[in-house]
């Protein structure tokens, strides 16, 4: 029996989600409505797909309303039993957006426009990894979907990536609502990409724990730490940039292979 488990839970209907996944026996490539990918079992043994119908545009909630999209959750069933974890608790997740569905969602539309411009201009991404003496909340951020109700605290290892059907950026980041030393479990390795025809937006987020950061942090004096917060972010970004791909778990080389496997085709 194939170790990959397609989790189909009726409870997902409560969220306007209809699980579905096409996968040929002995074929490592999964296909979901024009988007295909390869995930080795060393990363995840289970895949679940949810079709989200989309929130009303005027819905008020943290992060704002979510537009229509397909969410693909990768996880290890051993850790969750019969349950499917939320995307933020899974080892990785991918979202497929049709750009036409984002038009009325201001923050999503702005993210698409930002990524489109970055790709067209081939802007210098090192500018997004530098911390000056200005307030943290004035630092430029890189495109990221979905919209989180938290701040993009830092960006590291940012670079452009192209596949046969996609163009985008890859980088390491952390989202949070407070200032404190980082724990290794907080880091996300993300691929934000547009299909070559600009019709589809792919957003992938994978946990990538760098061993250059502690597993657990010791308590710190909040004010003293915040007074030197920019210095800490500079140092942390440098540590991430200097680390080897194998210093992350899973190794970034494996995650890069996952991203390289992404393909978007006409439905």
Per-residue pLDDT of the chain (267 residues; tens, 9 = 90+): 343 433 333 233 334 444 444 444 445 789 998 999 999 988 998 899 999 999 999 999 988 999 999 999 999 877 555 577 777 778 999 999 999 999 999 999 999 999 999 999 999 999 999 876 666 666 789 999 999 999 999 999 999 999 999 999 999 999 998 888 999 999 999 999 999 999 999 999 999 999 999 999 888 888 888 888 889 999 999 999 999 999 999 999 999 999 999 999 865
What pLDDT, on a 0 to 100 scale, did the predictor assign at position 251? 97
Instruction: Say whether 73 sits in a helix, a strand or coil.
Output: strand
What pLDDT, on a 0 to 100 scale, did the predictor assign at position 23? 44
Q: In a 10 Å sphere around its CB, with 0-12 CB exposed, 13-18 middle and 19+ buried, how is residue 256 labelled?
A: middle
CB half-sphere exposure, 94, CA atoms < 13 A: 26
Instruction: Say whether 160 sits in a helix, a strand or coil.
Output: strand
Q: Supply the pTM of this predicted model.
A: 0.88
The rounded distance, in Å, linking the Cα atoms of 192 and 205 is 9
What pLDDT, on a 0 to 100 scale, did the predictor assign at position 263? 96
What pLDDT, on a 0 to 100 scale, did the predictor assign at position 26? 44
Q: Could you tell me the two tokens for 49?
A: 């797909």
DSSP state of 147: P
CB half-sphere exposure, 53, CA atoms < 13 A: 8
What pLDDT, on a 0 to 100 scale, did the predictor assign at position 266? 65
Q: In a 10 Å sphere around its CB, with 0-12 CB exposed, 13-18 middle and 19+ buried, how is residue 9 labelled?
A: middle
What pLDDT, on a 0 to 100 scale, did the predictor assign at position 17? 45
Instruction: Say whether 183 sits in a helix, a strand or coil.
Output: coil
What pLDDT, on a 0 to 100 scale, did the predictor assign at position 85? 76
* Cα separations in angstroms, 147 against 18, 89, 196, 224: 22, 16, 23, 30
What pLDDT, on a 0 to 100 scale, did the predictor assign at position 222? 83
């Amino acid at each position: 029996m194939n170790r990959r488990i397609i989790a189909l839970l009726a409870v997902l209907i409560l969220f306007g989600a209809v699980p579905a996944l096409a996968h040929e026996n002995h074929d490592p490539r999964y296909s979901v409505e024009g988007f295909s990918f390869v995930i080795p079992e060393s990363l995840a043994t289970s895949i679940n797909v949810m079709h989200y119908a989309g929130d009303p545009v005027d819905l008020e909630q943290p992060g704002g309303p979510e537009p229509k999209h397909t969410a693909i959750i990768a996880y290890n069933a051993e850790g969750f039993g019969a349950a499917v974890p939320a995307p933020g608790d899974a080892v990785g997740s991918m979202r497929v957006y049709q750009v036409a569905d984002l038009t009325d969602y201001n923050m999503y539309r702005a993210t698409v426009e930002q990524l489109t411009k970055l790709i067209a201009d081939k802007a210098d991404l090192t500018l997004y990894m530098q911390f000056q003496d200005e307030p943290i909340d004035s630092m430029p951020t890189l495109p990221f979907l979905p919209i989180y109700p938290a701040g993009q605290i830092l960006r590291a290892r940012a670079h452009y990536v192209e596949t046969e059907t996609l163009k985008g950026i890859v980088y390491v980041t952390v989202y949070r609502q407070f200032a404190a030393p980082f724990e290794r479990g907080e880091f996300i390795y993300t691929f934000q990409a547009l299909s070559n025809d600009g019709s589809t937006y792919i957003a992938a987020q994978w946990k990538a724990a760098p061993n250059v950061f502690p597993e657990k942090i010791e308590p710190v004096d909040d004010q003293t730490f915040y007074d030197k917060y920019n210095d800490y972010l500079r140092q942390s970004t440098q540590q991430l940039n200097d680390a080897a791909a194998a210093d992350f778990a899973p190794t970034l080389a494996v995650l890069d292979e996952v991203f390289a496997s992404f393909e978007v085709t006409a439905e």
